[in-house]
Each structure stands twice: as structure tokens, then as C-alpha cells.
Amino acid sequence: MPEICRFRGILIRMFYDDHPPPHFHVKHGEHKAKIHLGTGELIVGHLPPKTLRLVQWWYHQHRDELRDNWQACQFTGPLKRIEPLP
């Protein structure tokens, strides 16, 4: 699963040819979750509240890039790295 971003110990990845709904995967320590690309809401898993807020802040800054990467994943195209939070 390609890594598209890493910041503050949070790893953001996407699977190639993944199932709908469009989403990305988050790992922070022992916590794992899937975040919906349309809403930024948690679909599955658990993240500590502070981590979820950081991920959602990052998501709102990079929605278009995330959607582009989702499209690339559906056709096994190359994924682009996305800037981390400062």
C-alpha cells in the first residue's frame, strides 16, 4: 500500500484497486482507521481524538489531491506524495 504522506507520527496510505466508498487509510501507533474522501469522516477503526482532528485538518487542505490519488489507484497509476502538516 503506497504511502502518500507522513506527519507527526501519522501515516497516510491508499490501496490500489481498493473498494468503494473512496477513502484513505491512517495509521498512528497501534491505531488504524479509514477516512471517507467525500466527508473526511471516520468510516472504520479508531483514532485518538487529537489524531483524528489533525488528520481531518490535513484532509481539508488536500481534498483535491486525495481525490486525484484515489482515481490513480483505481487504474494502478502512480500516486503523488502530498505535503504534510507543518
Residue 23: phi and psi, rounded to 5, are -160, 170
Q: Which residue has the cell 468510516?
A: 43
> Looking at per-residue confidence, does 16 or 48 come out higher?
48
Closest to 67 in 3D by CA, of 2, 29, 14, 10: 14
pLDDT given at position 1: 67
> Looking at per-residue confidence, does 43 or 1 come out higher?
43
- The pTM assigned to this predicted structure is 0.94
pLDDT digits (tens, 9 = 90+) for 17-69: 888 999 999 999 999 999 999 999 999 999 999 999 999 999 999 999 999 99
3-class DSSP assignment, residue 74: helix
Say if residue 74's pLDDT is above 90. Answer: no
